[in-house]
A and B are shown apart, each in its own frame.
Chain A
Amino acid sequence: MNWNTILIRYGEMSLKGKNKSKFVRKLKENIKVALSELTTLKMRAERDRMFIYTERLEELDRAVEILPTVFGIQSFSPIAICEPTLEAIKETSLKVLSKTETEGKTFKVDVKRTNKSFPLDTGELQQELGGHVLRTFPNLIVKMKKPEILLYVEIQREAAYISSHTYRGAGGMPVGSNGHSLLLLSGGIDSPVAGYQMMKRGVAFDAIHFASPPFTSDLALQKVEDIVRQLTKFGSTIRLHIIPFTELQQAIIKQVPSNLTMTTTRRMMMKIADRVREETGALGLITGESMGQVASQTLESLTTINEVTSTPVLRPLIAMDKLDIIQIAEKIETYEISIRPFEDCCTVFTPPSSKTKPQLEKVLYYESFQSFDEMVEEAVKNRTTVIPSQRIEDVFDDLL
């Protein structure tokens, strides 16, 4: 018996017809990056599933820990490989089951036979194996629907695969298989979750952040970089564009009545983001907006703000409750970073009250007194772009 392989089943992408090989290639790439710490990793991708091999048992355990974070995997199972003979399959099945708790568990044998020349047919083999297992583990209870332990046996011409445990994958699609976008990242709780949700649907992205020094500090920037670092763990490197926003923000305060500054500020951000998107060749914009959460996220506000661009704005959180968003933020470990108490450019100049139903004509009227478009171009030109690398402490931890 050889216990050094994991069988990976693809998620939704199984449905994707001709583009499939592209999806599989992307997934293989992403898994390779996610498991880069494994020294003995080997991979083989087939049309409907993938096999990964390691020579060390502890590396296989590590792979089991990491694989649930990789999008595009529906499920995976560590498998034992043996000779495709009835005797070997019986013996290996017992060995596989002896590694799991069987006391009082429900169980079922599932056989798939691609080698049709195997002496027993599927039904016969299922019965034969089930009986054999029950003689050794009399405490197992046979159950056809949703058994707790599914002994899965697959017989191929050259080998048989046997597994008893299937782990759930992260689902979704391989990051990068659905194009590139730009995420507006404030440092709050919502925007990292929005990024994560889009990654889950296969979208890779750059991030854009607006900084207003000296009103916002390096610590706020640090926080955003940490969020980006955390998001990187789910699939792709993320470039961060940092926009110097102070001048524009001050001009807005000077020019626009206080109850509309928020609206104009958002419009300018959206314009800048759209320009950066254009320059980086991305297709869409991603925001963490959620319907009605704050004044800028009413349907009226969204409409007035969205007026600056015809680019698709992806809002994966639009119909989600705050508590559900927080739950995901906690799960993906961006929550603790997001609640660090540093001012960001949106909280620095908060007007006493903001219009929840800003009228486009009025906004356009006030904006017409200032050449905002030039300032937008200026901000885009003066952006700094960084790839937040791993923190040195983490790098050292890995090294040692």
Chain B
Amino acid sequence: MYFDHSATTKTDERVLRTFMEVSTTYFANPASLHAAGKLAEKLLEKARLQVLSTLGLELTEGVFTSGGTEANNLAILGYVYANQQKGRHLITTVIEHPSVLRVFQFLETQNFTVDYLTVDCEGRISLDELKTLLRRDTLLVSIMHVNNEIGTIQPIAECANIIHSQSRAVFHSDCVQSFGKIHIGDAQNSPDLVTLSGHKIYGIKGSGFLAYRKKMRLQAISYGGGQERNLRNGTVSVPHAAALAKAARLQVEETDIQQFQQWRGELVRFFSDIEDCLVLASHTSAPYIVSVAFRHVTGEVVVNYLQERGIYVSTSSACSSKKNDVSHVIEAIRLPKDFEKGVIRISFGKDQTTDEIHRLKEAVNQFMQLLKRGIRK
């Protein structure tokens, strides 16, 4: 029983079929002048348009990348380098994914000033704080849509409205965890740069996308043959692009968000009734992520116990789960000390069944009984 869809997902067979078909039939280099190359280029452009249209935003440009991390790097470094004459002030949040956070930390060493938005105990940023931090020379603001560790949804449309009406800054949002499941802003109030990833939506690993507004100046962050409108050098992988477009379409068409909501409601009620358990972001989380903290137990112990029963959950996030210290997100929401090492994340996917939810509950009940007995001894 796999409850770790926020870490990654199993590739959908239909996506895999597209990947194989394109790899063997439309394998030509889209930059080649011959007919086969032109055909591959046509397919690539169609895939690009399809990914953009699934976003439902007014973003008309996009570049295929190797994943979310590269797209985040390209969005931030690419925009900042190309436009640094406009200002050297940047804003982001304390709970971003490392592929955003570390880029800002690097930019601080390059004479840029970065302000970090704090969050409340639910993981939400404050719009008032955003208003106060915006300056005349703010170049870029980066705020993630859904947090990968605790699932908090940020008010992207409101942020876009504030940033666009009160500054000249552009707005980047890391939407890897929400793509195809929760609508990102709206057509009037949308980010200017949006990061997407394929492997979180049953796509192929190693595929990502950066959508951006028309006429925006961006600069490549690696050097080469000038592919992808000079933004991303290296031969374009048309199979990855087509597979991402297919995965995006299927995700938008097939996601049953109400089912997720129902399961989440069930689990939130279940965990709230357990003494020594705390549901994180209980009011603001995405419907497919349930993050829970256990008192006096480490997340690792819970993960191990459930794993023995064939249930896969993760400690707060897969990226940081191998380190033993407390994650920056858990620190940021100021979880009580005796809970902060006991965080696990349960994330649903489309092949999940209600029966699995019940078996997860049973297993947790058994675990809690075991804990009590352990304490009595």
Q: Kindly identify, within residues 31 to 48 of chain A, every residue whose CB is under 8 Å from any CB belonging to chain B.
A: 39
Q: Which of B17-25, B119-127, B208-216 contacts A (4 or more CB under 8 A)?
A: B17-25
CB–CB B46/A39 < 8 A: no
Q: Known A39-B13, A39-B14, A39-B17; judge A400-B254 contact (CB<8 A).
A: no
CB–CB A399/B254 < 8 A: no
Closest Cβ of chain A to B22, distance in Å, is: 6
**How many pairs of residues, A versus B, come closer than 8 Å at their CB atoms?**
23
Q: Which of B56-64, B241-249, B261-269 contacts A (4 or more CB under 8 A)?
A: B241-249
- Give complex CA distance A58, B18 in Å: 18
Smallest Cβ-Cβ distance to B47: which chain A residue: A400
Smallest Cβ-Cβ distance to A38: which chain B residue: B14
- Give complex CA distance A400, B249 in Å: 8
**Would you give 5 A-B contacts (Cβ < 8 Å), ordered by A?**
A39-B14, A39-B17, A396-B42, A399-B22, A399-B246
B368 CB–A CB distance under 8 Å: no
Q: Known A58-B254, A392-B39; judge A400-B46 contact (CB<8 A).
A: yes
Q: Kindly identify, within residues 1 to 22 of chain B, every residue whose CB is under 8 Å from any CB belonging to chain A.
A: 13-14, 17-18, 21-22
- Give complex CA distance A175, B148 in Å: 54
Q: Which of B13, B39, B246 contacts A400 (CB 8 A)?
A: B246
Closest Cβ of chain A to B26, distance in Å, is: 8
- Give complex CA distance A399, B249 in Å: 11
CB–CB B39/A399 < 8 A: no
- Give complex CA distance A396, B45 in Å: 11
Closest Cβ of chain B to A323, distance in Å, is: 39
- Give complex CA distance A81, B177 in Å: 39
CB–CB A399/B242 < 8 A: yes
Residues on the B chain within 8 Å of A39, using CB: 13-14, 17
Smallest Cβ-Cβ distance to B22: which chain A residue: A399
Q: Kindly identify, within residues 9 to 43 of chain A, every residue whose CB is under 8 Å from any CB belonging to chain B.
A: 39
CB–CB B46/A396 < 8 A: yes
What is the interface residue range for chain B against chain A? 10 to 19
1/0 per residue, CB under 8 A from A, across B212-235: the answer is 000000000000000000000000
Q: Would you call the interface of chain B mostly helix, strand, loop, or mixed?
A: helix
CB–CB B14/A396 < 8 A: no
- Give complex CA distance A58, B250 in Å: 12
Q: Kindly identify, within residues 25 to 43 of chain B, every residue whose CB is under 8 Å from any CB belonging to chain A.
A: 39, 42-43
Residues on the B chain within 8 Å of A400, using CB: 18, 46-47, 50, 242, 245-246, 249
1/0 per residue, CB under 8 A from B, across A388-400: the answer is 0000100010011
Closest Cβ of chain B to A338, distance in Å, is: 28
Closest Cβ of chain B to A311, distance in Å, is: 40
Closest Cβ of chain A to B349, distance in Å, is: 14
- Give complex CA distance A399, B245 in Å: 9
Closest Cβ of chain A to B321, distance in Å, is: 32
Smallest Cβ-Cβ distance to B14: which chain A residue: A39
Closest Cβ of chain A to B49, distance in Å, is: 10
Closest Cβ of chain A to B109, distance in Å, is: 42
Residues on the B chain within 8 Å of A396, using CB: 42-43, 46
- Give complex CA distance A221, B22 in Å: 29
Smallest Cβ-Cβ distance to A55: which chain B residue: B13
Closest Cβ of chain B to A43, distance in Å, is: 18
1/0 per residue, CB under 8 A from B, across A198-240: the answer is 0000000000000000000000000000000000000000000
Closest Cβ of chain A to B166, distance in Å, is: 39
- Give complex CA distance A214, B39 in Å: 29
Given contacts A400-B47, A400-B245, A400-B249, 5 further A-B contacts (CB under 8 A): A39-B13, A399-B242, A399-B246, A400-B18, A400-B50
Smallest Cβ-Cβ distance to A400: which chain B residue: B245
CB–CB B18/A399 < 8 A: yes
CB–CB B21/A399 < 8 A: yes
- Give complex CA distance A399, B22 in Å: 8
Residues on the A chain within 8 Å of B21, using CB: 399
Smallest Cβ-Cβ distance to B254: which chain A residue: A58
- Give complex CA distance A358, B13 in Å: 63
- Give complex CA distance A396, B254 in Å: 20
Residues on the A chain within 8 Å of B46, using CB: 396, 400
Residues on the A chain within 8 Å of B47, using CB: 400
- Give complex CA distance A392, B25 in Å: 12
- Give complex CA distance A392, B39 in Å: 9
Q: Which 6 A-B pairs have the closest CB atoms?
A: A400-B245, A39-B13, A399-B18, A400-B246, A400-B50, A396-B46
Residues on the A chain within 8 Å of B43, using CB: 396, 399
